[in-house]
Amino acid sequence: MTDTVHVALYDTFVDWEIGYAIDHINNPEWQKTPGRYAVATVGATTAPVTSTGGLRMLPDTTLDDLDPRGSAMLILAGNNIWNTDTFTPFAEKAGEFLRAGVPVAAICGATGGLALAGLLDEHAHTSNAAEFLDGVGYAGGSRYRDEPAVTDRDLITASGIAPVHFAREIFRRLDLYEPDVLDAWFALYGLRDPAGFYALANR
């Protein structure tokens, strides 16, 4: 049985911030249970959206049709609409996921949208900078951590310049790899250490 990881799509989503995560979730190589997960996309509607890199994509499903009980995780990329009403339905769906005990992973501007929705107030979290979140007037400042990525229970947050750290936290939460494989993966992609490549190649 395949579990679905849902990736939110909206205009101006930052495609490269989620590239490491979705590519390796879909790639069965090195996985503990190859084929356990598949990636699907979700939009406010099924109309095309365009990323900051100019990729035009069609969501597989809509927020209205997405039930957290049928998902393994919701991933939210950074964007230029996080502080507008256009992003609000995505933040509301993230809250629904968290209340259902299903993990949410947000990076860059998406963390600002979650802060505005009050979803960071009770979780340790990070973002692009403490000052970025302080500017939204949220109540979770004491829980901010100056780290590339932070996982607290079912919530993963990351700085927009830490897509590899973000992916590592996602993989860990999904139990995608054995710990030694995850360490080797991060050594290769996060630290550019050739030892990570040889460790993976020799499995």
Residues with catalytic roles: 108
CA–CA dist 59, 64 (Å, integer): 12
CA–CA dist 85, 200 (Å, integer): 44
| Rounded alpha-carbon distances, angstroms, from residue 70 to 2, 66, 97, 158 | 11, 8, 10, 25
CA–CA dist 8, 45 (Å, integer): 11
Residues with Cβ within 8 Å of 54's Cβ and at least 6 positions away in sequence, in order, are: none
CA–CA dist 117, 45 (Å, integer): 21
- Other Cβ atoms less than 10 A from the Cβ of 70: the count is 12
